[in-house]
C-alpha cells in the first residue's frame, strides 16, 4: 500500500497527458482538415484521462491535514469562476456570431471605394439559387477576398466562395475544367452550370464588373437557342459517323438549347434563333436558303459557318456582303511530320487578338483538311483573323498530283488564315415591319432578344472536322468552337457595365518649410520631449 | 451607481498619476514617438515615399503621354502609417500593460485592492481607462504633424477617414491592453507578463493568415478573431459593425477575466 501511495505521487503527473492528448487531437484534426478516427480518438482519450484525474483528486488526495480537493474553498471559487468564464465566452461568441450575420457597414471613403455597385447589389440580393465562386489561386490575395466578402455580405444564404489551391485538389480542378492557376469559376450547383469569370494574378486582380457579369450569366433563366442547319449533308448532331454530338453535349452543358433547322420545310427562321450553325455542308445550299440566311444576318442574326475544302457550298450570296471569300484550295501543312501528322492535318498555334481566342496563348488546335478564308475591308464590317497557320504551309490547288509539292504558279504560300470573326453594326434599329397585320387582336408582346442587339456577328472557319467527335475534346479544338458560339450569342456583351471604383487622384503638395517642420516635429522635437521628461522625472525622484 | 463611478474615477486618477510620475512611461512614449517619426518621414519624404512616387508616376505619364492610373497619395500615406503604428503598438502596448497588476502583486498591494470594498471589475475598468488614456496622449501629438500633410493635399481630403483610422488604433490598443491586463494579473513578474502578452497579441494579429489554410466555418471563425483584419477595415475608412463588436468583445473579455483572476487570488490562500 505504501509503495502504491509513493508511486501514485509520481503517477499523477501522467494525468498531464490528458490535456496534451486533447490538444494533439485538435491540432491533428485542424491540420488534416478531417475529423477521422485518429483525431477524435485522441480527443476522447484525453477527455477520459482528465475525467480520471478529477476522480483521482476527489478520492485519493484526501488527507487528515488538508481537506480534499473538492472540499476546499478555493476549488469552489475556482469552479464558480470556471462556469462563469465559460458562460461569458459562450455569450461573447454568440454576440460575435450574430454580429457577423447581421452586418451594418459604413463606407467613409469619398468615392465609396469599398461599396459594391447598385447593379451588383440588386443581382446578388435577388439570387434565387446558390452560387459559388471558386478562386483557384494559391496566394489568396486579401484584395480579392475583401471583394468576395462584400458579395457574401449581400446574400449569405445563396452566395459563397472558396479559395482553392489548384495543385492540392485535382478533383475540383477537373470537375470545373480549370485551365491554369488563377482562374475564377462561378458555379451554380443546382443547375450544374459554370462560367469562367476571369483569371487573376499579380498583374490582374478580381474585378467587380467581370464577377457580376459571370454571376448574371450563370443564373440567367433566359434560354439561348442555337440552330444547326440540316439538309445539305451537314455533320449530324446525333451520335453517328462524323457527327458532332460531343460538341452538342458540351453546348447543352453550358445552358444552350440546341435544335435542328431545316430550311426546306419553311424558309422562315424561328424567332428565338440566336445563332445558326452551318457545320460543314457537303452540298450547295439553294438560292432561297442563302437569301434567307443573308437576310437573317442583316437583321442582327449571328452565324457560325464552317466549310470543308473540296466543297462548294454556294454561300457567295451570304458571304460576299461581309467581304469574305473561301479559298477553294486545300491547305497542306508540312510542319506536322514530326508528330506523325499527315500533310492535310493543319496545326494552329497562333491566334488573333479577339475575345474568342484571347486566353489561348500559344496552345495548339488542330484541323484535318482545311481551306483558307479571306476577308477584305467592307463598309460597316470589322473583321479579326482568328487562326493563323505557320509559314510552312501552302494552299494546294491539285491534291491528286503526286508528290504534293508547292507550285508557285497555282498554289498559295502560307501563312494562311483559317478563320475570321466578323461583326457588323446595324445601321438602323432594324425593326422589320410586320408583313401583314396579324388578324388576331391579342399579339403576344414577347420581347425579342434581337431588339437589344446592335450588331450581327459571324464566324467563318475553313474546316468543320475540328468539332467532330474524336477531335472536339482534343487540344484547344473545343475551346475554339465553344468560345465562338459564346461570342456569337452576344452573351459577352456586358449586361452590366460597372465602372471600377477608382481612387481619387490626389497629391500632397508640401513646400520646403512644411516638409522641414514635419521632419523636425516627428523626428526630433517629439521624441526629445518624451526622453527629456523621462530624464527630469528621474532626476527629481532622486 | 454613483459610488461605483466615484470608485472607478479614484482608481483611474491614481493610475494616471503613477503613469505621469514614472520615467519608464515617458521613455516608452519617447521610443514610440521616435519610431513613429522615423516611419512617417520615410513614408512621406523618403526616397520611396508617397510624394516621390507620385511625382515619378506623373513624370512617366507626361513623358509617354499615357494617362496614369489615379493615385490617392494622402490615403496611401495614412494607411501605411497606421499599419506601421499598429505594428509598433504590438511591441509598445505589452510594456504599458505589463505592470498593471504584476506591479501590485510584487509590492504586495494587491491584497489591499482585492479585499477593499471596491469591486474587482471597477478596479480593472479604472486601470484600463487610465492606460488607454495614456496611450491616447501618446497618439494625439502624432495627429499634429500629420495634419500638416493632410491639410496640404490637392484636392482637399476629408478628416473623417483620418480620425476613423486613429480611432481604430485606439480601439486596437484598448483590446490589447485589456488582454494584457489579464495576463499581468496572473503573474508577479512584469517581464513574463510582457512576453506572454506579446505572444498572445502576435497570435491574434496573425491568426487571419493562419486560418486561410483551414477551409470551412472553422477557418472563417478563426479568421474573424484577427486583430489585423478588423484594424485594416477601420484604417481603410470602413466602419463595420462586426469589427466594432469584436474589439468590444476583447475589451470585455479582458476586463472580465481580470476580475475573475483577482477573485481567484482572494481565495488562493484559504
Chain-chain contact of B74 with A508 (C-beta, under 8 angstroms)? yes
d(CA A7, CA A16): 16
Cβ count within 10 A of residue A387:
28
> pLDDT, tens digit, for every residue of A41-56?
888 888 888 888 877 7
Question: Which pLDDT value is given to residue A214?
Answer: 85
Structure ipTM over 0.90, yes or no: no
A124-138, A500-514, B100-114, B133-147: range with highest mean pLDDT: B133-147
Cβ count within 10 A of residue B78:
25
Question: Which pLDDT value is given to residue B131?
Answer: 94
Question: How crowded is the C-beta side of A100, counted as CA atoms within 13 Å?
Answer: 17
Mutate to test the interface with A, among B45, B49, B157 (most CBs of A within 10 A): B45
Size of interface A-B (CB pairs under 8 A): 198
**pLDDT (average), residues A112-136:** 86
Residue B252 in contact with partner chain A when CB distance is under 8 A: yes
> pLDDT, tens digit, for every residue of A295-326?
888 888 889 999 988 888 888 888 888 888 88
Contact list, B84 vs chain A (CB under 8 Å): none
Chain-chain contact of B214 with A33 (C-beta, under 8 angstroms)? yes
A22-36, A391-405, A410-424, B35-49: range with highest mean pLDDT: B35-49
Out of B148, B158, B218, closest to residue A514 by CB: B148
Out of A33, A74, A529, closest to residue B270 by CB: A74
> pLDDT, tens digit, for every residue of B176-220?
999 999 999 988 888 999 999 999 988 888 888 777 777 667 777
Residue A521 in contact with partner chain B when CB distance is under 8 A: yes
Is residue B37 predicted with pLDDT exceeding 90? yes
Residue A499 in contact with partner chain B when CB distance is under 8 A: no
Is residue A133 predicted with pLDDT exceeding 60? yes
Look at residues A166, A189, A205 and name the one whose alpha carbon lies nearest to residue A197: A205
Question: Which pLDDT value is given to residue B35?
Answer: 95
Chain-chain contact of A522 with B36 (C-beta, under 8 angstroms)? yes
Q: Which H, E and C letters describe chain B, residue by residue?
A: CHHHHHHHHHHHHHHHHHHHCCHHHHHHHHHHHHHHHHHHHHHHCCCCCHHHHHHHHHHHHHHHCCCCCCCEHHHHHHHHHHHHHHHHHHHHHHHHHCHHHHHHHHHCCHHHHHHCCCCHHHHHHHHHHHHHHHHHHHHHHHHHHHHHHHHCEECCCCHHHHHHHHHHHHHHHHHHHHHHHHHHHHCCCHHHHHHHHHHHHHHHHHHHHHHCCCCCHHHHHHHHCCHHHHHHHHHHCEEEHHHHHHHHHHHHHHHHHHHHHHHHHHHHCC
Mutate to test the interface with B, among A513, A518, A528 (most CBs of B within 10 A): A518
Higher pLDDT, B109 or A14: B109
Question: Which pLDDT value is given to residue B48?
Answer: 85
* pTM of this prediction exceeds 0.90: no
Contact list, B253 vs chain A (CB under 8 Å): 88-89, 92
Amino acid at each position: 500500500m505504501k509503495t502504491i501511495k509513493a508511486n501514485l505521487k509520481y503517477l499523477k503527473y501522467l494525468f498531464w497527458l490528458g490535456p496534451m492528448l486533447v490538444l494533439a487531437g485538435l491540432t491533428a484534426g485542424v491540420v488534416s482538415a478531417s475529423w477521422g478516427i485518429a483525431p477524435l480518438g485522441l480527443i476522447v482519450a484525453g477527455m477520459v484521462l482528465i475525467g480520471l484525474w478529477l476522480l483521482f483528486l476527489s478520492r485519493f488526495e484526501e488527507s487528515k491535514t488538508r481537506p480534499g480537493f473538492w472540499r476546499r474553498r478555493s476549488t469552489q471559487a475556482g469552479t464558480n469562476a470556471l462556469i462563469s468564464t465559460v458562460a461569458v465566452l459562450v455569450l461573447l461568441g454568440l454576440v460575435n456570431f450574430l454580429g457577423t450575420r447581421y452586418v451594418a457597414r459604413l463606407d467613409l471613403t469619398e468615392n465609396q471605394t469599398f461599396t459594391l455597385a447598385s447593379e451588383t447589389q440588386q443581382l446578388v440580393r435577388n439570387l434565387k439559387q446558390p452560387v459559388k465562386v471558386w478562386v483557384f489561386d494559391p496566394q489568396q490575395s486579401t484584395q480579392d477576398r475583401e471583394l468576395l466578402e462584400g458579395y457574401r455580405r449581400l446574400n449569405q444564404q445563396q452566395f459563397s466562395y472558396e479559395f482553392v489551391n489548384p495543385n492540392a485538389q485535382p478533383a475540383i480542378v477537373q470537375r470545373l475544367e480549370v485551365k491554369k492557376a488563377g482562374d475564377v469559376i462561378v458555379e451554380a450547383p443546382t443547375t450544374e452550370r459554370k462560367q469562367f469569370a476571369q483569371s487573376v494574378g499579380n498583374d490582374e486582380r478580381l474585378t467587380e464588373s467581370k464577377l457580376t457579369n459571370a454571376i448574371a450569366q450563370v443564373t440567367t433563366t433566359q434560354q439561348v437557342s442555337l440552330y444547326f442547319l440540316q439538309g445539305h449533308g451537314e455533320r449530324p448532331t446525333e451520335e453517328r459517323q462524323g457527327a458532332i454530338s460531343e460538341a452538342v453535349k458540351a453546348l447543352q452543358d453550358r445552358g444552350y438549347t440546341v435544335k435542328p433547322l431545316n430550311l426546306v420545310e419553311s424558309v422562315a427562321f424561328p424567332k428565338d434563333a440566336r445563332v445558326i450553325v452551318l457545320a460543314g455542308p457537303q452540298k450547295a445550299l439553294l438560292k432561297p436558303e442563302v437569301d434567307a440566311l443573308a437576310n437573317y444576318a442583316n437583321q442582327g442574326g449571328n452565324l457560325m459557318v464552317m466549310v470543308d475544302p473540296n466543297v462548294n457550298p454556294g454561300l457567295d450570296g451570304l458571304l460576299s456582303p461581309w467581304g469574305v471569300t473561301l479559298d477553294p484550295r486545300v491547305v497542306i501543312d508540312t510542319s506536322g511530320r514530326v508528330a506523325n501528322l499527315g500533310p492535310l492535318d493543319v496545326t494552329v498555334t497562333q491566334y488573333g487578338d479577339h475575345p474568342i481566342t484571347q486566353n489561348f496563348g500559344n496552345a495548339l488546335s488542330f484541323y484535318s483538311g482545311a481551306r483558307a478564308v479571306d476577308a477584305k475591308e467592307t463598309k460597316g464590317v470589322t473583321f479579326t483573323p482568328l487562326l493563323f497557320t505557320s509559314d510552312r504551309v501552302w494552299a494546294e490547288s491539285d491534291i491528286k498530283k503526286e508528290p504534293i509539292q508547292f507550285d508557285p504558279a497555282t498554289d498559295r504560300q502560307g501563312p494562311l488564315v483559317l478563320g475570321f470573326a466578323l461583326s457588323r453594326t446595324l445601321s438602323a434599329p432594324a425593326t422589320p415591319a410586320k408583313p401583314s397585320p396579324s388578324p388576331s387582336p391579342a399579339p403576344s408582346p414577347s420581347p425579342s432578344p434581337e431588339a437589344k442587339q446592335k450588331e450581327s456577328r459571324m464566324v467563318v472557319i475553313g474546316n468543320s472536322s475540328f468539332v467532330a467527335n474524336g477531335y472536339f475534346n482534343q487540344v484547344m479544338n473545343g475551346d475554339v468552337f465553344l468560345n465562338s458560339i459564346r461570342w456569337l450569342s452576344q452573351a459577352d456583351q456586358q449586361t452590366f457595365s460597372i465602372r471600377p471604383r477608382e481612387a481619387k487622384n490626389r497629391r500632397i503638395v508640401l513646400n520646403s518649410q512644411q516638409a522641414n517642420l514635419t521632419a523636425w516635429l516627428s523626428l526630433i522635437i517629439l521624441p526629445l520631449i518624451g526622453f527629456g521628461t523621462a530624464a527630469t522625472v528621474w532626476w527629481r525622484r532622486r | 451607481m454613483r459610488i461605483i463611478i466615484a470608485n472607478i474615477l479614484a482608481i483611474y486618477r491614481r493610475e494616471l498619476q503613477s503613469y505621469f510620475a514614472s520615467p519608464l512611461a515617458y521613455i516608452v512614449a519617447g521610443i514610440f514617438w521616435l519610431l513613429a517619426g522615423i516611419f512617417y518621414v520615410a513614408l512621406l519624404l523618403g526616397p520611396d515615399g508617397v510624394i516621390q512616387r507620385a511625382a515619378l508616376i506623373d513624370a512617366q505619364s507626361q513623358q509617354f503621354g499615357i494617362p496614369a492610373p489615379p493615385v490617392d497619395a494622402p490615403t496611401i500615406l495614412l494607411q501605411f502609417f497606421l499599419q506601421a503604428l499598429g505594428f509598433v503598438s504590438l511591441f509598445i502596448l505589452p510594456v504599458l500593460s505589463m505592470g498593471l497588476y504584476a506591479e501590485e502583486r510584487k509590492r504586495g498591494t494587491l491584497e489591499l485592492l482585492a479585499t477593499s470594498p471596491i469591486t474587482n471589475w471597477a478596479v480593472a475598468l479604472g486601470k484600463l481607462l487610465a492606460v488607454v488614456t495614456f496611450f491616447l496622449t501618446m497618439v494625439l501629438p502624432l495627429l499634429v504633424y500629420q495634419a500638416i500633410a493632410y491639410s496640404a493635399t490637392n484636392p482637399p481630403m476629408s478628416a473623417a477617414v483620418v480620425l476613423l483610422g486613429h480611432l481604430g488604433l485606439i480601439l486596437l490598443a484598448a483590446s490589447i491592453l485589456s488582454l494584457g491586463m489579464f495576463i499581468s494579473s496572473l503573474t508577479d513578474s512584469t517581464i513574463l507578463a510582457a512576453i506572454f502578452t506579446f505572444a498572445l497579441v502576435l497570435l491574434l494579429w496573425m491568426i487571419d493568415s493562419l486560418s486561410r489554410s483551414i477551409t470551412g466555418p472553422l477557418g472563417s471563425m478563426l479568421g474573424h478573431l484577427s486583430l489585423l483584419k478588423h484594424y485594416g477595415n477601420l484604417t481603410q475608412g470602413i466602419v463595420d459593425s462586426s469589427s466594432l463588436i469584436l474589439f468590444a468583445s476583447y475589451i470585455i473579455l479582458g476586463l472580465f477575466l481580470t476580475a475573475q483572476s483577482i477573485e481567484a487570488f482572494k481565495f488562493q490562500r484559504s
